[in-house]
Structure 1
């Protein structure tokens, strides 16, 4: 895990917009599920779960993001394991930074049955959001087996390195004309992996010929991907 928090306010706003793909077509309350299976870290000192949790109000958590979802009328929930019965109850599924063996003694890897279930759910209209990480902080092998079904694979690299709190080193200002950047002039993405694209996937943000953010329409659903979990 990276030790410094990225400046995340603008990125929270733009990342929330992808939920519009589900929200705009749903008359019922949209449910946003945050994965706690493929990323299931515990604090070495306390033994308590941490990193990327709705309940974590520290820099390591997503409590503020959850507040934004609920303020827009959505309901947030935690996905302990993405079975078909669980995915049926949500419209948006967020997978964050799958665990490596240095982060978990027994990581829950993304397995073939998981891939089959997630693909089927997206094809029926689910919105899948994947926030990976840079090398060596993310388990890319199994994650990429999922992502290649949507024409994407993450590279085992580190781009946008940031020294200490010099967050401007990770700033992106030349943003394209894309709905996800509506009203946004700058984002901060710190220590990120880039994405290879094929088939149906399309770039959202490219810098120096490197794809940093990508998307894919898959069946009735949608996939959004970025190689950075720090929002």
Structure 2
């Protein structure tokens, strides 16, 4: 009897943390790309180590806080350190591709090609949830990012939105409207020096400021794409480093929950 009761409680808990989600779970696989973004720097011990937008990185450059949000809602974190193939994307529910390298960032960047774009597009069409996070053009391989984004009716522009000079934090502020379907608890967030997005086909604006699309979504087959022109939710902006009143920690939580809710239920 105790064993049956324990199983029931576990199922109820898993259901409660993703209330409203269409997916089953927990243990959704959330992959962050470490192939197209593959940067190194010298660590405290003097040895070269991976850094920039990876789950296990707990300093300001890492995604450990965002990773914790996915775990909270039943996600299981994984790093995708090879070029995407039909085989190695099997079992992946959410695939995050962030800040593709240029030669400015790494000596031998891995560039995306059209066969890989097709692999990713087919994976999304079959039900995958893809996140594309670009950057301003001086800090990302924008042509490569747009090669992928173009498959979904998205194009990151060569511009800089929400430009912040010095300590003018207010210039990077975004106010989230009431009733936003993605960011349900975050009301005031910080996001600076990003590229805007041009839309075509089925792509839709998810947030617009001064006529520029800053967040976009696409329904593609059974899957979903979320796009933003910046790596954004890394620890520097989600760990209390910002002035009081900003909700980037809530935004990381909101986006993780929304992405999980886009995973199709499996039969």
CA distance in 2, matches of 1:181, 1:54: 22
2:114 maps to 112
Structure 2 residues not aligned, in runs of 5+: 1-17, 234-267
Distance across 2 between alignment mates of 1:216 and 1:187: 22
Query: What displacement does 1:132 show?
Result: 0.8
Map of 1:211 onto structure 2: 213
Instruction: Say whether residues 1:52 and 2:53 are aligned partners.
Output: yes
Cα contact 2:176–2:183 (8 A) shared by 1: no
How many correspondences in the alignment? 211
Say whether the 8 Å CA contact 1:176–1:205 is kept in structure 2: no
Q: Choose from 165, 172, 175 the match for 2:174.
A: 172
Which residue of structure 2 aligns with residue 143 of structure 1?
145
Please give the per-residue CA displacement for 1:112-162, whole angstroms capped at 9, x wherever unaligned: 121011001000000000111112111111111111111100011111112
**Native 8 Å contact 1:38 1:107 kept in 2:** yes
Q: Is the 8 A contact 1:32 1:92 kept in 2?
A: yes
Report the secondary structure of 2:218's partner residue.
Answer: strand
Match of 2:23 among 13, 21, 25: 25
Q: 1:106: how far off? A: 1.2
How do residues 74-153 of structure 1 correspond to structure 2 at under 5 angstroms?
74-81=75-82, 82-153=84-155
2:33 match = 35
**Structure whose alpha-carbon radius of gyration is higher:** 2
Q: Describe the superposition over 1:69-103 as per-residue Cα deviations: whole angstroms up to 9, x where unpaired.
A: 11211100000122211211210000000001110
- 1:176 Cα offset (Å): 6.6
Q: Please provide the CA RMSD for this pair.
A: 1.8
In the aligned structure 2, how far is the partner of 1:176 from the partner of 1:134? Answer: 28
Kept in 2, the 8 Å contact 1:37–1:79? The answer is yes
SS at match of 2:120: helix
CA distance in structure 1 between the aligned counterparts of 2:60 and 2:182, rounded to whole angstroms: 24
Distance 2:167 2:36 in 1: 29
Show structure 1 runs of 5+ residues with no match.
Answer: 1-19
Distance (Å, rounded) in 2 between the aligned partners of 1:174 and 1:35: 28
In 1, Cα distance between equivalents of 2:184 and 2:55: 25
User: Corresponding residue for 1:63?
Assistant: 64
My pick for the range that moved more, 131-140 or 176-185, is: 176-185
Q: TM-score, structure 1 length as denominator?
A: 0.86
Task: Provide the TM-score with structure 2 as the length reference.
Answer: 0.75
1:187 — aligned with what? 189
Question: Structure 1 residues 98 and 176 mapped into 2: Cα distance closer, same or farther (>3 Å)?
Answer: farther
Q: 1:8-31 CA distances to partner (integer Å, 9 max, x unpaired)?
A: xxxxxxxxxxxx7x9532245211
